[in-house]
Structure 1
Amino acid sequence: MYLGIDIGTSGVKAAVIDEQDRSVAEAAAPLAVSRPRPQWAEQRPQDWWRAVELTLDALAADSPAAMAAVKAIGLSGQMLGVTLLDRADRPLRPALLWNDGRAGAECRELERRFHDFTERVGCRPMPGFPAPKLLWLARHEPAALDRACRVLLAKDYVRLCLTGEAASDRADSSATLLMDTAGGDWDDALLAACGIARTMMPRLVDSAEIAGIVRAELAARWRLPAGTPVAGGGGDNMCAGIGVGAVRSGDAYIGLGTSGVYFVANDRFIPSRFAGMHTHRHAVAALYCQQAVVLSAGASLAWVGGLLRAPDLSSLMAEVEAAELIPAETPVFTPYLGGERTPHDDPTLTATFSGLTHETSPLALVQAVMEGVAMALADGHEALIESGARVGEVRLTGGGARSTLWARLVAAALGIPLRLQPHAQTGPALGAARLARQSVGGPLIAASGSEAIIVPVEPSLREQLLQKRALFRRHLHLSR
């Protein structure tokens, strides 16, 4: 058995898998995002650890035999968060998350100071990434940065709590914009520019390398074998790629989670110089990944569900599907609730509804949100193709993939068939568990993946979305 733990934005998920990649046990605990000011997004690191405790307590109570058989643990986590710890490894302030947009000015400064910034790290500096956020902290909260002794990503803070080791994998860390991505080590010039010493950064390991051992008292609490190893793991986008089988050059997936991620594996390092795209190391050895990101995908759906006071998003999506609305009957929605990364690279963009009438129904608003996210992903698809990405088969995963309607809309907007993966909810946790297996000598992927369902491109739906996409783009200026 192998345990994968994913520290997501909306919650922590954990999954135990067997040698054939079958899920044996799963558990989850929710998380909330704090937005104390416009463009800010934060979480307390202590809340990540508490959610992990709740999740593993549930697994130990409900599946003690599975936990007792765990051979290794893998970690996945939301990427790009900045966690500052003091000398006693206590958080100094809430973590700045991946969708925090406060550091726009610092991005411009880094680009002025380093003309080869993109070639070093794989992409232009963008507000959600750690390097500009650390520079923002150096300018606006110097006392906190002066007291900081460690800088960690989300899953690596959990690793510290779990094992006592301050370590990070090269895949997740390549997205900090503080690392020589091709070389695989911290870049001292970039660290210094952001006010950070190398001694504050975790040691780097490979994703399938053992990075620590579970603390004895925690192993006893969760009925894990003594000395259970913890693998390096990876960022949630990389681990989701492994979870859906995107482990060869050209493999791609779209993840419909809090954000919308379009991920393409590549055997070449192709720095992304435009359109809010980024290139990092994959958690699979010798591979890189190119990514286009819609910042508010599932977040947009949760937002409109909150406006409508819907108690359950799954039921709401089922109602929308049963209504059989067509795009001509729904308004246009641009999903820029927290700015946008791909292809606009603009943290100041705002979301809009347009085309509202007296006849617009609540369900039409919900479908408009789903259509808007699908069209934003189509923008990302075009940006990836224009950058030279070689896209082969595309899988669809994430919580949003449970909606047949949303899957059909995404396939139609992109104009390509999609493979709907069976592990929609546990994708990153599954990938982390697979890396755990690899860390102790097993294969990365044992299952054939033949369970996937093909989502075809429906010609009539594609034509309707093509017409609507012209309006979608025309209304972009309203978002600025």
Structure 2
Amino acid sequence: MRDELLLGIDLGTSSIKANAIDRHGRSIGLGVAPTPFAGNTHGVEMTTDALFAAIRAAVTELGVLTSRIAAVGVASMGETGTTIRADGPSDLPLVAWHDERGTEIVDELVGRFGSEAIRRRTGRAPRNVTSIAKLGWLLRNGHTPGGTWTGVAGLTVWKLTGALAQEQSLAATSGAFDPVTGEYDREILAFLGLDSLVWAPARIAGTPLGRISAAGAAWSGLPVGVPVTIAGHDHPVGVIGSGGDRTEAIDSMGTGEPLVVSWDARTAAGSHPGWPGQLGDLTITSWPGTAEHMLLWENLRPGLAMRNLQRALRVSRDDIEFSAIRVDAEPLDLATLVGMQDGAIPPSLLDRPAEEAWAATLEGYAAASADAEGRLRELSGVTGTTLLIGGGLRSRRWVEAKQRHAQHPLAMAAEREAVSRGAGLLAGVAAGWWAPEQYPPADTVPLTSERSS
């Protein structure tokens, strides 16, 4: 039917979005609800029931559009999840990925296997954000995590369909999954006492995992029989939703600034690419909808640094953004930027005019990301356009800095709801509307870099 729509659900750290898109990839309606994470004596977490209530609230905001939904795709934050037993989800708390619990679990893993060996086996550095770090902590603190493990996207699919499933890019965030072989590392799981769990099979995004059951329809208001898929981890899905492709380097400007390039595992002879430790974490994950892979570099947290600087300068964000436009400033070095992310603002920076301090920080981040992008291109062989995506595009001064430091042609994505749109596009794969990577195009705007002008 020509009036059918796709539903993309984005389970984000701060909000949950339900985006209804049409056959042209255009958003027809958007429902939003806050993600119900809350702090307690242990840390930051939410209950399964609170998550389900928030998802229902976001979907309900679509009103009569829900009756037109032909397929559903669910994207989510990584790491956070729970176990599902024969009688339903366990009572494990859904621990936030950024919660500090699990640090001692990671220390023990490193002591047993070594950091480099873990990176080779899982495609990422050992970190306390991983699912196994949180699960290990829960196991040692009175919880019994029996059943089948899946993330919050898989939990949502179960609620809608009754199916138990996981997707490859989300499985990769567990800390015990090799994205190249597509297998869980049983030795790592056994060391932590987690080998008795069933780990939901990791499928390619866009694979129909089940259809909405009568119970799922009664809960969600969506039609019975609609196919449902897991679209994947929010960063990779956002690349798809913003119109990124495997010829490009994608720079996601926001609170964090991950850089993404495609990577051909077949050329690596089974090995994972090396990356100097001082440059931060390089991870391997899946390119949504395909059997291909991407490299994801995450070290920069510009939003945190700018928030800390704004507070130290005691200025409004709008005022400082306007006054810093076209202000010349030498870029800050990477060590200073990383310190600012943790709240260490150099006194010498505060001695400068506020607009100069702001401009120097943005210039520093633009220079640091351009350097990292160059290294990623060397590892991957990607030679195409640099596509800028994310909320940071609202900062004209930041875009100016990007233009100044760009080594390749630049383009700017126009799509602002990239993750939920990407989830909807992968729902279209599950519905048979189009093949993977044959999605309706997203609007992008070419930018002129200073090096090419």
TM-score (structure 2 length as normaliser): 0.82
The 2-side partners of 1:337 and 1:34 are apart by: 26
Is there any run of 5+ residues in structure 1 with no aligned partner, and where?
339-348, 463-480
The 2-side partners of 1:11 and 1:383 are apart by: 33
**1:70 is the counterpart of 2:62:** no
The 1-side partners of 2:179 and 2:243 are apart by: 23
Match of 1:259 among 256, 259, 265: 256
Deviation string 1:109-130 (CA, Å, 9 cap, x unpaired) is 4345346433332233233222
The 1-side partners of 2:12 and 2:137 are apart by: 24
- How far did residue 78 of structure 1 move? 1.0
Deviation string 1:41-95 (CA, Å, 9 cap, x unpaired) is 65555544333222111112xxx1x322211000111112354667751442341
**1:430 is the counterpart of 2:421:** yes
- Is 2:160–2:215's contact at 8 Å kept on the other side of the alignment? no
Deviation string 1:218-238 (CA, Å, 9 cap, x unpaired) is 535655322122112111112
Relative to structure 1, is the Cα distance of residues 317 and 48 closer, same or farther in structure 2, using a 3 angstrom cutoff?
farther
Match of 2:56 among 40, 53, 57: 53
Answer with 415-424 or 233-242: which moved more: 415-424
Residue in structure 2 matched with residue 228 of structure 1 by the alignment: 226
Residue in structure 1 matched with residue 400 of structure 2 by the alignment: 408
Answer with 238-247 or 215-224: which moved more: 215-224
- Is 1:4–1:74's contact at 8 Å kept on the other side of the alignment? yes
The 1-side partners of 2:428 and 2:164 are apart by: 21
- How far did residue 438 of structure 1 move? 0.6
The 1-side partners of 2:56 and 2:347 are apart by: 44
- How far did residue 304 of structure 1 move? 5.5
Answer with 153-162 or 369-378: which moved more: 369-378
**1:447 is the counterpart of 2:447:** no
- Is 1:263–1:289's contact at 8 Å kept on the other side of the alignment? yes
Match of 2:286 among 272, 281, 285: 281
Give 3-state SS (helix, strand or coil) of 2:209's partner. Answer: strand
- How far did residue 209 of structure 1 move? 0.9
- How far did residue 320 of structure 1 move? 1.1
Relative to structure 1, is the Cα distance of residues 153 and 220 closer, same or farther in structure 2, using a 3 angstrom cutoff?
closer
Match of 2:26 among 22, 29, 35: 22
The 2-side partners of 1:423 and 1:186 are apart by: 35
Residue in structure 2 matched with residue 291 of structure 1 by the alignment: 296
Give 3-state SS (helix, strand or coil) of 1:378's partner. Answer: helix
Match of 1:13 among 17, 29, 34: 17
Residue in structure 1 matched with residue 131 of structure 2 by the alignment: 130
- How far did residue 173 of structure 1 move? 0.7
- How far did residue 273 of structure 1 move? 3.7
The 2-side partners of 1:37 and 1:454 are apart by: 49
Residue in structure 2 matched with residue 392 of structure 1 by the alignment: 384
The 1-side partners of 2:154 and 2:285 are apart by: 18
Give 3-state SS (helix, strand or coil) of 1:53's partner. Answer: helix
Match of 1:374 among 366, 377, 398: 366
- Is 1:124–1:273's contact at 8 Å kept on the other side of the alignment? no
The 1-side partners of 2:172 and 2:378 are apart by: 23
Give 3-state SS (helix, strand or coil) of 1:334's partner. Answer: helix
The 2-side partners of 1:209 and 1:277 are apart by: 27
The 2-side partners of 1:155 and 1:308 are apart by: 40
The 2-side partners of 1:34 and 1:303 are apart by: 23
Deviation string 1:235-275 (CA, Å, 9 cap, x unpaired) is 11121121133343x43311123321111112326524433
Residue in structure 2 matched with residue 342 of structure 1 by the alignment: none
Relative to structure 1, is the Cα distance of residues 48 and 404 closer, same or farther in structure 2, using a 3 angstrom cutoff?
farther
Deviation string 1:325-367 (CA, Å, 9 cap, x unpaired) is 52539988625577xxxxxxxxxx6643442345643x66655
Give 3-state SS (helix, strand or coil) of 1:27's partner. Answer: strand
- Is 1:370–1:406's contact at 8 Å kept on the other side of the alignment? yes
Residue in structure 1 matched with residue 212 of structure 2 by the alignment: 214
- Is 2:126–2:175's contact at 8 Å kept on the other side of the alignment? yes
The 1-side partners of 2:330 and 2:125 are apart by: 39
Letter in 1 for 2:154: D
- Is 1:125–1:177's contact at 8 Å kept on the other side of the alignment? yes
Letter in 1 for 2:369: L
- Is 2:366–2:402's contact at 8 Å kept on the other side of the alignment? yes
TM-score (structure 1 length as normaliser): 0.78
Give 3-state SS (helix, strand or coil) of 1:71's partner. Answer: strand
- Is 2:82–2:90's contact at 8 Å kept on the other side of the alignment? no
Give 3-state SS (helix, strand or coil) of 2:258's partner. Answer: strand
Deviation string 1:266-307 (CA, Å, 9 cap, x unpaired) is 232652443321112221312101010136333444555677
The 1-side partners of 2:319 and 2:17 are apart by: 24
- How far did residue 15 of structure 1 move? 1.4
Residue in structure 1 matched with residue 161 of structure 2 by the alignment: 163
- Is 1:72–1:230's contact at 8 Å kept on the other side of the alignment? yes
- Is 2:255–2:301's contact at 8 Å kept on the other side of the alignment? yes
Deviation string 1:7-57 (CA, Å, 9 cap, x unpaired) is 11121122111112122112222337657799x765555544333222111
The 2-side partners of 1:302 and 1:90 are apart by: 38
The 1-side partners of 2:238 and 2:412 are apart by: 13
- Is 2:305–2:343's contact at 8 Å kept on the other side of the alignment? no
Relative to structure 1, is the Cα distance of residues 289 and 166 closer, same or farther in structure 2, using a 3 angstrom cutoff?
same
- How far did residue 420 of structure 1 move? 0.8
Relative to structure 1, is the Cα distance of residues 147 and 172 closer, same or farther in structure 2, using a 3 angstrom cutoff?
closer
The 1-side partners of 2:299 and 2:46 are apart by: 20
Relative to structure 1, is the Cα distance of residues 380 and 31 closer, same or farther in structure 2, using a 3 angstrom cutoff?
farther
- Is 1:12–1:48's contact at 8 Å kept on the other side of the alignment? no
Aligned length: 434
- Is 2:406–2:451's contact at 8 Å kept on the other side of the alignment? no
Relative to structure 1, is the Cα distance of residues 319 and 119 closer, same or farther in structure 2, using a 3 angstrom cutoff?
closer
Q: How does 1:93-104 map to 2 (within 5 A)?
A: 93-97=93-97, 99-100=98-99, 103-104=102-103
Give the RMSD, CA atoms, in angstroms: 3.5
